[in-house]
Amino acid sequence: MSLIHSTAIVSDQAKIAENVRIGPYAVISGEVTIGEGTIVDHHASIGCEEGITIIGKNNRFLPSCVVGAVPQDLSYNNEKTKLIIGDDNTIREFATLNIGTVKDKGVTSIGNKNLLMAYSHIAHDCVIGSNNVIANSTQFAGHIHVSDHVVIAGGCLINQFTKVGRGAYITGDSSVNKDVPPFTIVQGKYAVMRACNKVGLERSGMAKSEVDNIYKAVRILIKGKNTLEDSIAKIKLECELTDNINYFIEFIESSERGLAF
C-alpha cells in the first residue's frame, strides 16, 4: 500500500508501486511511473504533462526538487520525450532534471546509486551512469555523458556534449569544455588534467598493481611532451593492457571534443 498525503496532487496517469511515500504538497504530473520503496518528500515536483518520467525502486526525492520538467531548449515543441531514473538514487533539495529532446535520442537517463546534491541541474539528453556524486550547484548543459564512479565537486559548469570517463574527479568551481579522460583529476577554468585520481582508485578497492598501472598510463599522457598518438603508443608499450587501460585508450582515441589538456 502506498502512503500518499492528502494534500499531494497525483496525476490520473501516474502508476505508483507498493510502499511508495508521497509527502505533503508534492505534485505528480502526467505519465509518471514510480517504483517500490521510493520516497517523494513534501513540495517535490515529479513529471510534466508533456513528457514521460519513469522512476525505479528505492529512490529519494528531497523537498522542492523538480524532476521530469520540460527541457530548457527553445526548439522543444511538446514532444513526448522521457526522463528515466534507475534505483537507489538520492535527488537533493532544489535539484532539477529535465526530459530529453528529439534532437537526440529523446531520453535523459540516470543510472543507479547516484547522489545529486542541492541545486544541481541535469539538462535534456544527459546520460548519467551509476555510483556518481554530483555536488551542490553543479550545472550540466545538454547531451553530456558521465560514466560510473565519477565525483564532481561543487559549483562546476559542464559544457554540452562533454564526456566524463569512469573514475574521474572534477574539482570544485571548475568549468569543463573538453572530454575528461577516465581515472584523472581535472581542475580549472577551463579545466585541464592535473593528475591521476589515485586516491579515488584506491578507495574503490582496486588492486594496488592496477592502480599503479593506471597511474603510469595517466602520467605518460599528462607529463610527456609527446603527441597524443605517441603517448598512446608509449602506454601500449609500457603498461599492462588490462581492461581499464584498454578503456582509457579507447576513450582518448574516440574523443570528438578533444581532451581536457
Question: Do 13 and 115 fall into the same domain?
Answer: yes
Active site residue 51: no
- The residue among 143, 65, 156 whose CA lies nearest residue 108 is 143
pLDDT attached to residue 142: 98
Residue 181 placed within a domain: no
Active-site option among 124, 149, 165, 179: 124
Question: Do 136 and 210 fall into the same domain?
Answer: no
- For the record, the C-alpha cell of 137 comes out as 550547484
Q: How many domains does the chain have?
A: 2
Active-site option among 51, 142, 167, 200: 142
pLDDT attached to residue 2: 80
- For the record, the C-alpha cell of 7 comes out as 494534500
C-beta separation of 178 from 257 below 8 A: yes
Instruction: Show which of 118, 143, 168 is a domain's final residue.
Output: 143
Range of the domain at 24: 3-143
Residues of the chain with pLDDT under 50: none
Active site residue 125: yes
- Which pTM value belongs to this model? 0.96
Instruction: Show which of 121, 143, 165 is a domain's final residue.
Output: 143
- The residue among 53, 54, 61 whose CA lies nearest residue 116 is 61
For the chain, the maximum distance between any two Cα atoms, rounded to a whole number of angstroms, is 66
> Which CATH number belongs to the domain containing residue 235 in this structure?
1.20.1180.10
Q: What burial class does residue 243 get, using C-beta atoms within 10 Å of its C-beta: 0-12 exposed, 13-18 middle, 19+ buried?
A: exposed
Question: Do 95 and 216 fall into the same domain?
Answer: no
Instruction: Show which of 143, 175, 210 is a domain's final residue.
Output: 143
Active-site option among 41, 88, 125, 179: 125
Residue 190 placed within a domain: no
Question: Do 207 and 103 fall into the same domain?
Answer: no
> Which CATH number belongs to the domain containing residue 32 in this structure?
2.160.10.10
pLDDT attached to residue 260: 95
Residue 43 placed within a domain: yes
Question: Do 131 and 20 fall into the same domain?
Answer: yes
Residue 7 placed within a domain: yes
C-beta separation of 118 from 100 below 8 A: no
Question: Do 104 and 217 fall into the same domain?
Answer: no
3-state helix, strand, coil in the chain (%, to 5): 15, 30, 55
